[in-house]
Structure 1
Amino acid sequence: MHVVVLGAGALGGYFGSRWEEAGADVTYLVRDKRAKQLEDQGLKVTSTQGNYVTRNPRVVTDVHDIENPELVFVSVKGYHLAGTLETLKVLADKGAFILPVLNGIEHINVLQDYLGEESVIGGLSFIVATLNDDGHVEHSSDFHKLIFGPLNSKQSEICQEFWDLSSKAKVETTYSDSILQELWKKYLFINAFSGITTAANLPIGPVRDNKDTLKVAEMVLNEMQQLANSYNIEITNEDVAEAKSNLQNFGYDATSSMHQDRRKGQTLELDHLHGGALRLAKAKGLNMPFTEAVHGIIKPFEGA
């Protein structure tokens, strides 16, 4: 299988390396600066699940140079999505299916509207990984999970082929026939976790120490459940209870990527995540006061 990884950040670099390790033909579509780094340094993965080195990764800076793409792995931040649409259109027109693993949910409709419903597969990931100063991937957690599944009946064949590849790779892979539900389950959790840690400017441990602060996160979970259900996505009380349990089980100093970005003074995915939820709620006539409050508190820190 020819997999195109759009960008080669920590997420794309990790999964791309694992697929190559399993025998896939992997191309990294990157910007000039990252291309030079990869050409000079190669791509090394240091991982709790085993290390891997790609000494001469296939790197491309012009999408038109890519031939016979089959699947495109998209792991950009939500605020970069608009800038990738024309590139993804070129690849989709060449026959590739698009697998985004962005947080949130609005991007699915954006991509389907631009590329066609048949082209967009549903996906999400759970992994803690970063790039070091040399541009290599450092995977520090025990989990490296990828969940994907068809959003259209015409995607059965490509999903099966991708499952065959990923099941051979050092990746915890789940093929889901209810991928929209999985996307929403992550969405409700990430809005609570990233929202409360970023708004409070604290890791999850100190948040848990204050019951009033933790309650805000729990109320965001409840609001997100109502929002999902209003779109005919069944998120159960058990799903919410599991999300609350996950908030309790993180290490004391664990925090969200959005909070890390706030600490670094970088652009936040606020509009893509919480802003998106508020837009979806407005379309259904729902009020989400806790989500709205979290959104308002974080808003001054949104721009880099």
Structure 2
Amino acid sequence: MMNILVLGAGALGAYFGGRMLEAGVNVSFFVRDRRAAQLTKEGLTITSPEGNFECKDVTVYTSTDQVNDIDLVILAVKGYHLDQVIPQVHAIVRKTGAFVLPLLNGMEHLELLQTEVGEQKILGGFASIIATLNEQGHVVHSNNSSAIKFGALHNEQIQICEQLEKIHHLVKTSLLREENILKHMWKKYIFITALSGITSAMQLPAGFIASSEASFHVARNVIFEMNTLAKEVGIHLSEQEVEIMANRLRGFRPEATSSMHQDMRKGLPLEVEHLHGGALRLASKYNLNIPVIETLYGILKPYENGKPN
């Protein structure tokens, strides 16, 4: 069985790494000193509708010198930490020959990682989950499902994708291999840009999208604007696919919300630059006007580094 290193143990990394640990997969975590101390003291605990899990003895690394025999690095950091961890990813890949599955939001990270680490080493993928860490650093998973979708972007990645696919039936989550992973990544990017933008701008949970026609209209327009960007880079979605995404915005439980809105509530940094900022940079490249996204970006930008003083 392959050896997996989860780089970053926030809610996302700890959840999916924990689910693989639970299934008997050889999983270790690469984290900063503070999180390492917390995991060593508290262990890894998941509270979830998919089943609770606790592991007191977690393998944790804080230096690339400690890392050996890794087949796959699951990169589970926020977009604003990417620049900081690229040297570590590069060192681990150079040392072990591992492939990298980034689970970051947006699309710009792909090209950056391919340039810095090697095109043949970077898989396509993303995660779907609503989860947060409590004060003890335990994962609180609040929706009824979770998934990682992944796929090869280079022929050399087919074997590692097949190995990861084999784990799917063992874990209490979904590990889904997709042939056209770029299209699936774009669908996630389109949807999360709308959901995170409107919930954070409203500073209200996702249930208010359905109860306010004006707010729903804003979020729906974000989906349409993002779809025009997708077309420019060769990702073609049907009208039905776009409408399904727009209507999904009405389907959340009243208290459910986006991870960006959760971060805003906690006064934490926001991924506005990697979602809305990335869309604006792409729009500029193709001379497109995306006024709704531009407006949300302007509203959210002051919160980029946490609650403004």
**Match of residue 73 from structure 1:** 74
Is residue 45 of structure 2 the alignment partner of residue 40 of structure 1? no
**Match of residue 31 from structure 2:** 30
Matches within 5 A, 1:148-297: 148-297=150-299
Q: CA deviation at 1:34?
A: 1.5
Contact 2:78 2:104 in 1 (8 A): yes
Contact 2:129 2:146 in 1 (8 A): yes
Contact 1:274 1:291 in 2 (8 A): yes
Deviation per CA, 1:58-104, whole angstroms, max 9, x where unpaired?
11111121111110111111111110100000111120111011111
Matches within 5 A, 1:90-129: 90-93=91-94, 94-129=96-131
Identity fraction in percent: 44
Contact 1:29 1:60 in 2 (8 A): yes
Q: CA deviation at 1:131?
A: 1.8
Q: CA deviation at 1:123?
A: 0.9
- Alpha-carbon distance between aligned partners in 1 of 2:180 and 2:262, rounded to the nearest angstrom: 31
Contact 2:191 2:245 in 1 (8 A): yes
Q: CA deviation at 1:45?
A: 1.8
Q: CA deviation at 1:212?
A: 2.3
Judged with a 3 Å threshold, the aligned counterparts in structure 2 of structure 1 residues 284 and 135 are, in CA distance, closer, same or farther, namely: same
Q: Pick one of 129, 138, 141 that aligns with 1:136.
A: 138
**SS of the residue aligned with 2:143?**
strand
Q: CA deviation at 1:23?
A: 2.2
Unaligned runs of 5+ in 1: none
Contact 1:79 1:272 in 2 (8 A): yes
- Alpha-carbon distance between aligned partners in 2 of 1:145 and 1:214, rounded to the nearest angstrom: 26
- Alpha-carbon distance between aligned partners in 2 of 1:193 and 1:92, rounded to the nearest angstrom: 34
**SS of the residue aligned with 1:182?**
helix
Q: CA deviation at 1:294?
A: 1.2
**SS of the residue aligned with 2:222?**
helix
Q: CA deviation at 1:198?
A: 1.2
Contact 2:167 2:175 in 1 (8 A): no
TM-score after normalising by structure 2: 0.95
Q: CA deviation at 1:253?
A: 2.6
Deviation per CA, 1:247-274, whole angstroms, max 9, x where unpaired?
0110123221112222222211111100
Q: CA deviation at 1:243?
A: 0.9
Q: CA RMSD in A?
A: 1.3
TM-score after normalising by structure 1: 0.96
Unaligned runs of 5+ in 2: none
- Alpha-carbon distance between aligned partners in 1 of 2:239 and 2:27, rounded to the nearest angstrom: 41
Code of the aligned partner of 1:230? E
Code of the aligned partner of 1:83? Q
